[in-house]
A and B are shown apart, each in its own frame.
Chain A
C-alpha cells in the first residue's frame, strides 16, 4: 500500500516565534502540475499588526548593535542556509523550479547573504561624508536605519527575491515585516526557520504568508511602518502603496529586478533603506590656518 503523504502546515514567523495565523485560516497553493505542496497560513491584518509590534520592539536593540556584529549574524544566516541547502532545493523543486535552477537560486541566496554581511561594517565609510561648510562647524553625514520596513516580496521566486531584499534591509539595522510570495511561500517560511536558528534576534525579520490583496493595505497604511519595499510590477499595488502610505509619508522603494541577475545586488540596496543624518558640530574659527573643514 502506498504511504499517505503528510502535507506540512507551514506557520508564520513573528517576533522569533512560529505562531499560526490569528485568523486560524489556511490555503493550499498548487504547483504548475496541480499538486498541493503544503498548507499555508492565510494571515489576517491582525497578524500584520502583531508583526509590526514585534518589529518595532526589536528595532532598538538591532540598530544599536555593533555593525560588525550585524555582519557576523548575516554571515551566520548564510552558513545556516548552506547547511540546509538540499532542503531548500527540494522545496523549490516541488514549487515548480527545475533542479538546476533551484540549485543556482539557493547558492546565489547564500552568496548574497555573505555579500551583504561584508557590507555591514563598511557602508558607513563609503556612503557617509564630511561636508565642506562656510561656517565654524565640523559637518558630517551618516546613514542611519529607517526603522520598521514593510516588504512585499517578489511573487515569482520563493527564496532569492526574498533574501535579496531582507539582507540589505536588516544590514543597516532596520527591522522588517515581510509579506511572502503568495503562490510560492514555502521558501520564505523555511528561510524563517533558518533565521530563528542563526542568532538573529526575534522580531528583526517577521514573515507572514497569505493574500497580498488582504495584507498590503494594513501594512502600507500602518503608522508605525517607516518604509516600504515592493518587488514587482503590478500597477494596482503600486497605486495602493502610493496612496495608502501618505499618512506618515513612508519612503517607498520599488524594484523590478530579476533577482537572479548579478546587478540585482549592490550598495544602493542598503542606502535605499537608510536616512541621512547630518550633524553640525561647532568647532573653532574656520578662518584659522590650521583648520581643515
Chain B
C-alpha cells in the first residue's frame, strides 16, 4: 500500500505510551537471525538483492564534485567486467552535491538522496532546516534524509520533534522522506521505539538508524526494534514505511542477517529497494567480492575492485 502524502492525523497517539522494549528478549531474538545458514543459490540471490538495496554514500567535509561524480559512476558501473550485476538503489550526498550527483546518474535509474536539516547534528533552527531541505529538493533530490532533534527528544519534547518532522515532510513535496533517528544518541531501545513511532506518525516514508557519524550505529538490536515499530504501524494504519539501517554494515554477512530479519519481521513485501535500503560506503565492494567468490569458487582481492 502506498503512503498518502502528509501527516497521519487520524490516529491520536500518545508517544509517552509507546511500547517498552525488552532488551534481553531483543538480544535473544536477534542472535537467532545470525544463526541462519545461507548457502549457494540462496546466498547468491541474497547478495544480489543486498547490492540492489545499497545507498552508496559519501558524507564528508572533504567531498568534492569530482569525488561525487566518481562515486556516481561506481553506482552505475559496480563491476563491469562481470555482467549481469544489479546497480545500487541510490547515491546519498550532501545538498550542495545533489546537482552534480543528479547529472552524473542521469538515465541510470539510480536515485539521488540528500541529507538535510543541518546533518549530522540537526542543531539549527527550523527555518534553516526548511531552507536546507528545499534547496536539496529544488536541486533534484529524489529522497531527503533528515535528522531529528535528539536533544529535544531526550528532554521529552516529543511534540517539537513531531512538528519538525511534519514540517520537513511538507517541504519535501514529492521527494520521499527518510527520518534519521541517530540511535547511537538515543541510548535505550525504548527511546528508539518511541522515536520510530513519532517519525512514522509525523509522515516519514522511511525510518533510518544513523548518520554514520556516531558509534554504535545500525546494530541488529536497533534495526530489529525499528522493524517491529514499522510492523505495528502497518497493522494499525495500513501504511507501509521503509527501513534503512545505516552505518557499520560493512560486510555481506551482516547484510544477509539484516535481510533475513526483514523477511521474518515484516515479510517479503519489504524486500525491495522501494522499502528497504542499506546506507553504506564500503558494503558494495564486499558484496561484489562475495558474489564473485560464490560464482568462481575463488577468494577475491580488493585489489581488483574499485576504490571506495
Which positions 203-238 of chain A face chain B at CB distance < 8 Å? 218, 221-224
Contacts of A223 in B (CB 8 A): 298-301, 303-304
**Chain A contact residue count (CB 8 A cutoff):** 11
Report B184 CB to chain A, min CB distance, Å: 25
Contact A52 B298 (CB under 8 A): no
Please measure, in the bound complex, the distance between the C-alpha atom of A48 and the C-alpha atom of B298, giving whole angstroms: 12
In the assembled complex, A247 has its CB within 8 A of some CB on chain B: yes
Q: Does A9 contact B (CB under 8 A)?
A: no
In the complex, what residues of A have CB within 8 A of residue B301's CB?
56, 222-224, 248
Contact assessment for A224 and B298 in the assembled complex, using a CB-CB cutoff below 8 Å: no
| Interface flag for A85 (CB, 8 Å) | no
Using Cβ atoms and an 8 Å threshold, which residues of chain B touch A103?
none
A221 touches B298 (CB 8 A): yes
Cβ of B302 under 8 Å from chain A:
yes
Separation of A223 and B304 alpha carbons in the complex (Å): 9
Question: How far does the Cβ of A243 sit from chain B's closest Cβ, in whole Å?
Answer: 13
Set of chain A residues within 8 Å of B300, measured between Cβ atoms: 223-224
A1 to chain B, nearest CB (A): 45
CB proximity of A226 to chain B, nearest CB, Å:
9
Residue of B nearest to A218 (CB): B299
Q: Is A49 an interface residue (CB 8 A)?
A: yes
Tell me the dominant secondary structure on chain B's binding face.
loop
Contacts of A221 in B (CB 8 A): 297-299
Residue of B nearest to A148 (CB): B301
Provide the residues of chain B in CB contact with A222, threshold 8 Å: 298-299, 301
Contact with B along A187-205 (1 / 0, CB 8 A): 0000000000000000000
A22 nearest CB across to chain B (Å): 13
* Contact residues in A for B304 (Cβ distance below 8 Å): 223, 248
Most buried by A among B297, B299, B300, B304: B299
Contact with A along B272-308 (1 / 0, CB 8 A): 0000000000000000000000000111111110000
Contacts of B303 in A (CB 8 A): 223-224, 248
Name B304's closest neighbour in chain A (CB-CB).
A223
**Bound-complex Cα distance A212 to B297 (A):** 18
State in angstroms the CA–CA spacing of A56 and B300 once bound together: 12
Q: Which residue of B lies closest to A46 (CB)?
A: B299
Residues of B within 8 A of A49 (CB): 299
User: CA A218 – CA B293 in complex, angstroms?
Assistant: 11
Provide the residues of chain B in CB contact with A218, threshold 8 Å.
Answer: 299
Which residues on B sit within 8 Å (CB–CB) of A247?
Answer: 298
What is the CB-to-nearest-CB distance from B71 to chain A, in angstroms, rounded to a whole number?
Answer: 24
A227 and B186 alpha carbons, distance in the complex (Å): 49
| Chain A positions 239 through 281: 1 when the CB is less than 8 Å from some CB of chain B, otherwise 0 | 0000000011000000000000000000000000000000000
Binding site for A on B (CB under 8 A): 297-304
Q: Beyond the given A48-B299, A248-B303, could you list 10 further A-B residue pairs with CB under 8 A, ordered by the A residue number?
A: A49-B299, A221-B297, A221-B298, A223-B298, A223-B301, A223-B303, A224-B301, A247-B298, A248-B301, A248-B304
Would you mind naming 6 contact pairs between A and B with Cβ atoms under 8 Å apart?
A49-B299, A52-B299, A221-B297, A222-B299, A222-B301, A224-B299
